[in-house]
């Protein structure tokens, strides 16, 4: 079951003076299909002197992104859809922090040790 959540452009913070500035999407902008963790950046909005960052409300999959950098938007406009029921990708659980370099260094190290042992044992 999908838990589709609308992601909206935030309103101008009340602490800022009312200005006649436009709301414009600026990079970085996440792409649909990306798994995001809670607090990870989805997009930014430039409202003149201030840049507002919109973060993932919870961990989940970004289903759609309906705006592009440079596009003008309005406060409370729905610009993306987010699915918080989407499971975390398996690869991020298994391979997090693992690289081919780690594998090769371990495998090559084992080969070198076995090679030295084989040479040493044949000389005895």
Domains of the chain, residue spans: 1-87, 89-124
In tens digits, the chain (124 residues) has pLDDT values of: 557 889 999 998 888 777 778 999 999 999 999 999 999 999 999 998 889 999 998 899 999 999 999 999 999 999 999 998 878 877 644 455 555 555 555 555 556 556 666 666 665 5
Which CATH architecture describes the domain 1-87? Beta Barrel (2.40)
Per DSSP, 27 falls in state S
Which H/E stretch holds residue 78? Answer: strand 78-83
Pairwise CA distance, residues 3 & 57, whole Å: 12
Q: What is the widest separation between alpha-carbon atoms in the chain?
A: 87
Three state DSSP letters for 43-69: EEEECCCCEEEEECCCCEEEEEECCCC
Percent of the chain predicted with pLDDT > 90: 48
């Amino acid at each position: 079951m999908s838990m589709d959540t609308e992601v909206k452009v935030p309103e101008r913070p009340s602490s800022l003076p009312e200005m006649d500035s436009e709301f414009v999407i600026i990079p970085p902008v996440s792409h649909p299909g990306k798994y995001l963790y809670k607090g990870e950046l989805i997009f930014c909005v430039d409202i003149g002197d201030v840049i507002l960052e919109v973060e993932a409300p919870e961990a989940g999959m970004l289903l759609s992104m309906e705006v592009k950098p440079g596009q003008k938007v309005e406060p409370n406009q729905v610009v993306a859809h987010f699915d918080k029921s989407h499971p975390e990708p398996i690869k991020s659980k298994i391979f997090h922090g693992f690289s081919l370099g780690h594998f090769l260094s371990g495998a090559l190290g084992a080969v070198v040790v076995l090679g030295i042992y084989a040479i040493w044992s044949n000389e005895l």
